[in-house]
């Protein structure tokens, strides 16, 4: 009789073969480079207490999961440009690029700018000389990096007196100076996240970190969580910390799952699971062949567990897809509503968003239950031990 958690030798061999296919995908860890900038000590605006803490803590979190980090604190325009140049050079051989910025930012005419600490911005002409164009940074991140992964985090939507001064100087054209940051269209392979939805303002935070960075720096260190799952957790924590006023938003053009850290890899560098259709199909075909062979040799109880495992994973993927769609619905709702001044209109938007958020939270419990179920089934099938043996 087969004991719980114990498989016959032929079963163990086949499962080990399946795990070898999975664990070898991909076999080598990629080179990862990050530019992390935090600006607090502004000359022409009140100092921001948290950005240098945010940048320092994010740099430490990224280094722990294998990133080579270029750190810049309280950068003036010349120093900021120099850090971007160093970063661009380092990206020539990097498979994964991360850019994190905390500090003042603003949008003018639908274009976003990051603000060095010595920026004055007395007129529109000063933008090109005093500020750093986000488009320019994104160009460096994406240039000649086809098939690579680029991730951008912007904690730069704070209430900005420099943008108000600039708007006053522009007279009738002041309407082009928008609140917060504008939505960015990214290239294939790029993921971009804002501390709050485009066109809105985020809070700096009363503690050591902003609500966004506090949640993000923690999420980076959680093993076996893909980027989408990390951002869902970040969004929920920020919503809770700000009483629902701040909704982190992201846009993804990634072609595969990105993991900061995989616990199953024994502390190895994180991996990107590629999205090349022909290679993925070959892997899936091999897995199907192995599973069919295993089913033929196993007893009904073992087969039932494998089927349950497959169904649980499929359901988990469905829930995660639904959460991504609802995140987009939240953004679309805020974008359509705009900066409503009518209290009734604001309440209607908040009710609609609250309803979506409640549905995401409801799914969260099911997601946690499914992950526990998947973990338990993998233990019973001997997959956990087989993964360790395959390392």
Q: What is the arithmetic mean of pLDDT over 119-124?
A: 77
Q: 157-191 pLDDT, tens per residue?
A: 655 555 555 545 444 333 334 456 767 777 888 99
What is the pLDDT, as a whole number, of residue 24? 40
pTM: 0.61
pLDDT at 76 over 60: yes
The overall average pLDDT reported for the chain is 76
pLDDT at 223 over 70: yes
The alpha carbon of 186 is separated from its chain's Cα centroid by a whole number of angstroms, namely 14
What is the pLDDT, as a whole number, of residue 23? 42
The answer to whether the CB of 55 falls within 8 A of the CB of 100 is yes
Q: What is the arithmetic mean of pLDDT over 354-377?
A: 84
- The CATH number corresponding to 32-263 among 3.40.50.1460, 3.40.190.290, 3.30.460.80, 3.40.50.720 equals 3.40.50.1460
What is the pLDDT, as a whole number, of residue 320? 80
**Could you give the C-alpha distances from 211 to 81, 236, 249, in angstroms and in order?**
28, 11, 14
Burial 184-211 (b: 16+ CB within 10 A, else e): bebeebbbbbbbbbbbbebbbbeeebbb
Place of tokens 């020539």: 92
Domain boundaries along the sequence of the chain: 9-25+275-390, 32-263
Q: 279-288 pLDDT, tens per residue?
A: 455 545 545 5
Q: 37-62 pLDDT, tens per residue?
A: 999 999 888 788 899 999 999 999 99
Do the bridges between strand 96-102 and strand 149-155 make them parallel or antiparallel, or are there none, so unpaired?
A: parallel
What is the pLDDT, as a whole number, of residue 266? 44
Give CB contacts under 8 A, 24+ apart, made by 25-30. 25/273, 25/283, 26/271, 26/272, 26/273, 26/274, 29/66, 29/268, 29/269, 29/270, 29/271, 30/94, 30/95, 30/96, 30/149, 30/269, 30/271, 30/272
């Amino acid at each position: 009789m087969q004991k719980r958690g114990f498989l016959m030798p032929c079963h163990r061999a086949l499962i080990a073969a399946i795990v070898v296919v999975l664990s070898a995908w991909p076999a080598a860890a990629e080179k990862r480079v990050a530019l992390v900038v935090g600006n607090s000590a502004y000359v022409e605006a009140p100092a921001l207490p948290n950005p240098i803490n945010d940048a320092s803590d994010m740099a430490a979190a990224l280094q722990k999961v294998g990133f080579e980090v270029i750190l810049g604190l309280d950068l003036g325009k010349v120093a900021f440009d120099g850090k971007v140049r160093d970063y661009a050079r380092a990206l020539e051989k990097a498979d994964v690029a991360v850019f994190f910025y905390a500090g003042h930012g603003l949008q003018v005419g639908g274009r976003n700018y990051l603000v060095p600490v010595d920026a004055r911005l007395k007129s529109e002409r000063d933008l090109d000389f005093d500020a750093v164009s986000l488009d320019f940074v994104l160009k460096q991140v994406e240039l000649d990096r086809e098939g690579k992964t680029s991730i951008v985090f912007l904690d730069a939507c704070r209430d900005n007196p420099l943008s108000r001064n600039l708007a006053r100087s522009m007279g009738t054209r002041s309407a082009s100076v928008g609140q917060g940051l504008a939505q960015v269209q990214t290239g294939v392979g790029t993921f971009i996240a804002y501390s709050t939805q485009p066109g809105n303002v985020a809070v700096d935070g009363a503690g050591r970190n902003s609500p966004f960075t506090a949640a993000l720096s923690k999420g980076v260190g959680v093993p076996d969580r893909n980027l989408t799952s990390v951002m869902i957790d970040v969004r929920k924590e920020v919503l809770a910390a700000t009483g629902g006023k701040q909704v982190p938003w992201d846009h993804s053009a990634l072609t595969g799952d990105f993991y900061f850290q995989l616990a199953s890899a024994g502390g190895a560098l994180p991996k990107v699971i590629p999205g090349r259709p022909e290679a993925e199909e070959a892997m899936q075909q091999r897995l199907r062949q192995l599973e069919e062979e295993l089913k033929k040799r196993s007893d009904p109880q073992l087969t039932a567990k494998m089927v349950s495992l497959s169904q649980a994973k499929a359901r988990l993927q469905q829930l995660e897809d639904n959460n991504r769609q609802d995140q987009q619905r939240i953004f679309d709702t805020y974008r359509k509503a705009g900066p409503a001044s009518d209290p009734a209109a604001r309440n209607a938007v908040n009710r609609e968003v609250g309803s979506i958020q409640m549905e995401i939270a409801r799914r969260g419990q099911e997601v946690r239950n499914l992950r526990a179920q998947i973990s338990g089934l993998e233990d019973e099938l001997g997959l956990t031990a087989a993964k360790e043996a395959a390392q």
